[in-house]
């Protein structure tokens, strides 16, 4: 497993305090430590696009929107992806996947309610002191 963070990596037999990394750039390819099911769960929690390395066709980039792991049977596990290039949602069997990459920007990274409130409060207080601050109106951030 590869990535650009120092979080713990999951491997077969990982302890309960070890987690699968879920930072941008993380990748997993069949044969590396970890189980595809764990990687899919981390990718589902990731809020950016993922690149799905497929066995028999071109790689697919898109947003992992849904998954069914091990229910009703492991052989029937699948993921659903909204392709970044557009088009209808695709359902892909886990058996057709040879790897996953967390490739897109996690659009919600650092945007928790607490983070927003802290930044807003700091700007509001600076404005009250007469300091020149960036706009504190409630407008969404620009997308990259």
CA angle (108, 110, 116) in 5-degree steps:
100
Q: In the structure encoding, which two tokens stand for residue 14, read together?
A: 């990982």
Structural domain spans, the chain: 27-101, 110-144
Task: Enter the pTM of the model.
Answer: 0.62
128: Cβ contacts below 8 Å, ≥ 6 apart: none
pLDDT value for 3 = 47
| Predicted confidence band of residue 4 (pLDDT cuts 50, 70, 90) | very low
Query: Does pLDDT of 63 surpass 50?
Result: yes
At the top level of CATH, the class of 27-101 is mainly beta
């Amino acid at each position: 497993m590869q990535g650009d963070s120092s979080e713990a990596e999951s491997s077969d037999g990982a302890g309960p305090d070890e987690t699968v990394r879920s930072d941008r750039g993380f990748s997993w390819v069949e044969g590396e430590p970890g189980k595809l099911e764990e990687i899919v769960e981390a990718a589902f929690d990731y809020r950016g696009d993922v690149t799905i390395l497929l066995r028999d066709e071109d790689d697919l980039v898109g947003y992992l929107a849904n998954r069914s792991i091990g229910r009703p049977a492991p052989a029937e596990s699948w993921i659903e992806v909204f392709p970044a290039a557009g088009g209808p949602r695709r359902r892909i069997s886990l058996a057709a996947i040879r790897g996953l990459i967390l490739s897109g920007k996690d659009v919600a990274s650092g945007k928790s309610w607490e983070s927003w409130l802290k930044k807003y409060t700091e700007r509001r207080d600076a404005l009250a002191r007469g300091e020149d601050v960036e706009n504190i109106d409630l407008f969404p951030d620009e997308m990259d």
